[in-house]
């Protein structure tokens, strides 16, 4: 008994040394240049700092103000809605595309590049094109809709009811290629023999998709679901180039608000408090995912 304990602790010690040796190059830079600034910005959320001079500690004042801030509530709800719309759709479409483009298709490289192109293209350039496409009076989408007899086509980016959905569409379109790549990489590790066995059993493509592909990809799906969640909670670029938060405040998402507060209003402390809330929300959701992964992720 005693002997095994000693052995494990010795092993632990050895593993620790090895682990930290492996981690060292990254951990060092990470702590100094990433982790430390993050902690510093959290600290700022308890101050009324404006980016200059002395730092005045204000306790929980920023958080109390946030609780009553209507603008913050609006952007918070917008962010949640945006995430609910964009994350599931993006991930689902990406996995479907990855499976379709995994193998057995002619010109596969060209198709993959095509799907990846939106991700490469700079948001500014993309924004112009989508604004034309979404143009309520002259754009091709509404042109098509009215030609099939829809009298009152949506106003897309210029309607407060549709603007968030429109931004989500562009966001999804832009990101499918990104997740496709990750899934494609994951699919390379799924042994062909599994599919061959299923073929012998006569399983169709849908059965194979749900019974083989999804379980085998689960570590990667877990990874992408966290990344996608973080990405959509932190959405900023597309809002900035497509709508600037408008019309009204209909697409004013959290990070847009944060950036505004920090760099337009110069209330850096308050902006940090908003970021801390954002962080906690993502953290809680990811934590639930981390706990939940034990049930569905297949290592």
Q: DSSP 3-state assignment of 271?
A: helix
Q: Which residues contact 188 (CB under 8 A, 6 or more apart)?
A: none
Contacting residue, 26, 147, 152, 291, with another protein by CB under 8 A: 26
Query: Which of 22/60 has CB closer to another protein?
Result: 22
Q: Cβ 82 to another protein, closest distance in Å? A: 15
- Rounded distance, CA 94 to CA 223, Å? 14
CA angle 230, 234, 240 (to 5 degrees): 150
For residue 27, give Cα distances in angstroms to 21, 23, 24, 33, 262. 10, 6, 5, 10, 29
Q: Pick the stretch among 55-63, 84-92, 145-153, 173-181 that binds another protein (CB under 8 A).
A: 173-181
As measured in angstroms, the least distance from the Cβ of 195 to another protein is 9
Per CB under 8 A, contacts with another protein among 202-261 are: 202-205, 207, 211, 219-220, 222-223, 226-227, 230, 233-234, 236, 244-249, 252, 255, 258-260
**Of 284, 265, 276, nearest in space to 45 by CA:** 276
Determine which residue in the list 263, 288, 292, 296 makes contact with another protein, applying CB under 8 A. 263
| Near another protein in 70-89, by CB under 8 A | 71
Binders of another protein: how many residues, by CB under 8 A?
126
Among 58, 85, 167, 271, binds another protein (CB under 8 A): 271
CA 50/CA 268 separation, integer angstroms: 5
CB of residue 212 vs another protein: minimum separation in angstroms? 12
Among 61, 80, 81, 173, binds another protein (CB under 8 A): 173
* Residue 190 · residue 224 · CB < 8 Å: no
Contact flag: residue 111 with another protein (CB under 8 A): yes
Q: Kindly identify the residues of this chain, within the stretch 38-67, that bind another protein according to CB under 8 A.
A: 38, 40-41, 44, 50-53
Residue identified by tokens 């595309």 is 97
Measured from the CB atom, the residue of 58 and 115 that comes closer to another protein is 115
Given 167, 228, 239, 275, the residue binding another protein (CB under 8 A): 275
Of 56-64, 80-88, 146-154, 196-204, the window that binds another protein (rule: CB under 8 A) is 196-204
CA distances from 134 to 119, 143, 167, 277 (A): 19, 10, 10, 33
Is 295 a binding residue for another protein by CB under 8 A? The answer is no
Report the residue number, 85 or 187, with the smaller CB distance to another protein.
187
| C-alpha distance across the termini of the chain, in Å | 31
Provide, rounded to whole angstroms, the least separation between the CB of residue 121 and another protein: 6
Asked if omega into 247 is within 30° of 0 (cis), the reply is: yes
**What does the alpha-carbon distance between residue 244 and residue 237 come to, in Å, rounded to a whole number?**
9
CB of 238 to another protein, least distance (A): 13
E strand intervals along the chain: none
Q: Pick one of 89, 165, 181, 212: the residue that binds another protein (CB under 8 A).
A: 181
Q: Which of 225, 285, 256 is nearest to 75 (CA)?
A: 256
């Amino acid at each position: 008994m005693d002997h095994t304990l000693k052995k494990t602790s010795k092993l632990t010690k050895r593993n620790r040394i090895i682990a930290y040796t492996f981690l060292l190059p990254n951990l060092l830079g990470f702590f100094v240049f990433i982790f430390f600034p993050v902690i510093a910005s959290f600290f700022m959320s308890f101050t009324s700092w404006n980016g200059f001079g002395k730092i005045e500690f204000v306790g929980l004042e920023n958080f109390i103000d946030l609780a009553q801030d209507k603008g913050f509530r609006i952007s918070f709800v917008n962010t949640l809605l945006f995430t609910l719309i964009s994350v599931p759709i993006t991930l689902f479409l990406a996995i479907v595309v990855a499976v379709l483009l995994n193998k057995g298709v002619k010109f596969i490289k060209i198709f993959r590049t095509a799907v990846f192109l939106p991700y490469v293209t700079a948001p500014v350039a993309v924004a112009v094109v989508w604004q034309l496409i979404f143009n309520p009076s002259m754009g091709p989408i509404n042109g098509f809709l009215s030609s099939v007899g829809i009298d009152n086509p949506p106003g897309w980016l210029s309607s407060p009811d549709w603007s968030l959905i429109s931004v989500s569409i562009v966001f999804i379109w832009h990101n499918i290629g990104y997740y496709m790549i990750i899934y494609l990489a994951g699919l390379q590790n799924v042994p062909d023999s599994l599919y061959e066995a299923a073929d012998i059993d006569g399983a169709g493509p849908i059965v194979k998709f749900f019974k083989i592909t999804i379980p085998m990809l689960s570590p990667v799906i877990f990874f992408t679901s966290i990344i996608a969640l973080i990405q959509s909670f932190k959405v900023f670029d597309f809002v900035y180039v497509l709508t600037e938060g408008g019309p009204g405040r209909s697409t004013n998402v959290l990070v847009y608000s944060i950036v505004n507060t920090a760099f337009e209003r110069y209330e850096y402390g308050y902006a940090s408090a908003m970021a801390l809330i954002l962080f906690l929300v993502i953290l809680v959701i990811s934590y639930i995912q981390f706990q939940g992964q034990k049930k569905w992720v297949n290592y």
